[in-house]
Amino acid sequence: MEKIKPCDFIIFGVKGDLSKRKILPSLYYLEKTNNIHNNTCVIGVGRSKWHKIDYINMIRKSLVTFLKEKINEKIWLKFISRFKFCNLDVYYSDNFIKLKKILDQKNRVSINYCAMPSSTFSAICDGLGKAKINKKTSRIVIEKPLGTNLESYNYINKKILKYFNESQVYRIDHYLGKETILNLLAFRFSNSFFLNNWGNHIIDSVQITVSEEVGIEGRIEYFDKTGQIKDMIQNHLLQILSIIAMESPKNLNTNSIREKKIKIVRSLRKIDYNNINEKIVLGQYTFGKINGINVPGYLDEINLDKNSNTETFVSLRVDIDNLNWAGVPFYLRSGKRLKKKFSEIVIYFKNLPINLFKEFNKKNFQNKLIIRLQPNEGVEMQILNKLPGLKNKYELQLTKLDFNFYRNNEYKTDAYELLILEIMHGIQSHFVSCEELEESWKWIDPIINGCKITKKKPILYKSGSWGPEESNFLIKKDGREWNKYN
């Protein structure tokens, strides 16, 4: 375990949604588990002309709402005593002097967490630079989405790298802090059983599904300009794909892991206007029922542009052109207002060339490994075995080896708790490098342009369904079907 060091932890946008929902509760949890140094300060930055007491009330309220447990008063007092506040509009770089005065002037680590819209990141960098608080010991944390295409990403990135080195930049994709994603590395590279049974010699296909019950939850303006491809595929699903497909890294150091992940993104077969219709299905939800409750359609919900063609669902076939994965399709699927909230990876193993048991079992069977990201984080392996008893000679039954990562009442670590701790320790392996992001935009841009060129429109699907029927055809035409969630 790394030694905890003191730091100045600055939250730009402390009264914003992300801060209330994730950052503040995670910091409280780290306090409770003694993972914050006694001399660490938290500095909340906001634009509103708030007094200290308004901020404290807001922090208390957000903990009451978003903590998974009741506030412990002793921990609360220690936690809140760390806080200082600074009202400043980041577009006025002169104001950053105010912030400088609050910071510890010794040469200790300062963490600048930008919990603000990405349009403000370059102003924050300019302000920190102008006030000379972008010291070598400082770190900058930025949230997705970074850019809306390769060009805008390059612009933001260039700005950040003008004031910080890559080793100081922490680009968050919170999926990388999820226990099951971290476990993927452990699972793949600590078990010889999996290490040697991974790749096109044994795997038939892979499915990655991230299914949401919620709609756009008030993020109308952001989402309507973004859509599901950029909101989910460009980041979370590509990250999962590259961890599943990457070769074994030399060690667990940041650069070794990143190097192997980038190789996968670089090997993705291009999807553009030439092949977009055979590779991708887009959808948009309409009125329907989720868990028995009526929910409005996307166009009624957004009330902005009744002609909006923004996709709320996407499924696609992705191919990796390298020796290890050639011929193994990766099917990716993600959508809003679907029947159930769940995320899973399903690895289908190839059928045996000969079925010795066919006299007793007519059905064709494929071994499956299901890695559940949520709910019930864990792994399920589906195997065949002989039905016990004298009567049954070689009649087979399907058995599920199922294990959860958590025991019954064990605390489930939130991705942000882990990621914030890693930032405090200065470890970057669970953050996205500038090269990875650049490669992912290089792959996504032709898809977005291809949709525009071919005037591809989303197909309507009922809220509470599994998306448009065409998504089933996409995979059926390859002789496969989506794993049935139960």
The footprint of ligand NAP on this chain (CB under 6 A) covers a number of residues equal to 21
Applying CB under 6 A, the span of 30-38, 83-91, 191-199, 226-234 interacting with ligand NAP comes to 83-91
Figure out which of the listed residues 37, 47, 260, 480 binds ligand NAP, where binding follows CB under 6 A: 47
Of 100-108, 141-149, 359-367, 452-460, the window that binds ligand NAP (rule: CB under 6 A) is 141-149
Q: Are strands 313-318 and 330-335 parallel, antiparallel or unpaired?
A: antiparallel
Instruction: With H, G, I as helix, E, B as strand and everything else as coil, classify residue 142.
Output: strand
Place of tokens 């035409």: 477
Our finding on whether 214 is near ligand NAP (CB under 6 A) is no
Q: Which two tokens stand for residue 395?
A: 């009649």
464 belongs to the binding site for ligand NAP (CB under 6 A): no
Residue 49 tokens, joined: 């002309």
How far apart are the C-alpha atoms of 427 and 55, rounded to whole Å? 30
Query: Quick check: 31 binds ligand NAP (CB under 6 A)?
Result: no
Q: Is 152 in the site for ligand NAP (CB under 6 A)?
A: no
Residue selected from 17, 69, 151, 481 as contacting ligand NAP according to rule CB under 6 A: 17
Select from 4, 6, 21, 37 the one that contacts ligand NAP (CB under 6 A).
21
Instruction: Return the residue of 48, 105, 364, 486 that touches ligand NAP, per CB under 6 A.
Output: 48
144 belongs to the binding site for ligand NAP (CB under 6 A):
yes
* 156-180 per-residue burial string, b: 16 or more CB within 10 A, e: under 16: bbebbeebbeeebbbbbbbbbbbbb
Among 15, 178, 261, 368, binds ligand NAP (CB under 6 A): 15
Which one, 67 or 459, has the nearer CB to ligand NAP? 67
Choice between 48 and 409, CB closer to ligand NAP: 48
Torsion angle (degrees, nearest 10) of CA 463, 469, 471, 473: 170
| Nearest approach, Cβ of residue 330 and ligand NAP (Å) | 24
Integer Cα distance of 422 and 419 in angstroms: 5
Taking the complex as a whole, how short is the minimal distance between the CB of residue 217 and ligand NAP, in angstroms? Answer: 9
Burial class of residue 120 (count of CB atoms within 10 Å of its CB; 0-12, 13-18, 19+): middle
Bin 455: left if φ > 0, else alpha if -120 < ψ < 50, else beta.
left
Give which of 44, 87, 74 is closest to 62, Cα–Cα: 44
Q: Is 13 in the site for ligand NAP (CB under 6 A)?
A: yes
Residue 91 touching ligand NAP (CB under 6 A): yes
107-136 residues in contact with ligand NAP (CB under 6 A) are 115-118, 120
Q: How far is the CB of 45 from ligand NAP (least distance, A)?
A: 6
Q: Which of 56, 66, 84, 89 binds ligand NAP (CB under 6 A)?
A: 89
How far apart (Å, rounded) are the C-alpha atoms in residues 235 and 226? 13
Burial code (b: 16+ CB inside 10 Å, e: under 16) for 73-95 equals eeebeebbebbbbbebebeebeb
Q: Which of 25, 46, 450, 464 binds ligand NAP (CB under 6 A)?
A: 46
236 is catalytic: yes
Nearer to ligand NAP, 98 or 476 (CB): 98
Q: How far is the CB of 84 from ligand NAP (least distance, A)?
A: 16
**Interface segment toward ligand NAP; rule CB under 6 A; list 65-73, 142-150, 317-325, 406-414:** 142-150
Report whether 315 contacts 476 (CB < 8 A).
no
- Give least dist CB 48 to ligand NAP, A: 4
Cβ distance to ligand NAP smaller for residue 13 or 297 = 13
Q: How far is the CB of 343 from ligand NAP (least distance, A)?
A: 15
| CA-based nearest residue to 324, from 263, 252, 233 | 263
For ligand NAP, which stretch binds (CB under 6 A), given 15-23, 337-345, 385-393, 408-416?
15-23
**Minimum separation from the CB atom of position 121 to ligand NAP (A):** 8
Give the CB-nearest residue to ligand NAP. Answer: 16
The answer to whether 281 touches 470, Cβ cutoff 8 Å, is yes
Helix axis angle, 238-245 to 254-266, nearest 10°: 100
Q: What is the spatial distance between Cα 359 and Cα 349, in angstroms, rounded to a whole number?
A: 22
Residue listed under structure tokens 């059928």 = 351
CB under 6 A: which stretch of 14-22, 33-41, 180-188, 441-449 binds ligand NAP?
A: 14-22
The active-site residue out of 174, 236, 425, 430 is: 236
275 in the Ramachandran plot: left (φ > 0), alpha (ψ -120 to 50) or beta? Answer: alpha
Cβ 180 vs Cβ 377: under 8 Å: yes
Interface positions with ligand NAP (CB under 6 A) = 13, 15-19, 21, 46-48, 89-91, 115-118, 120, 143-145
> What residues are annotated to the active site?
236
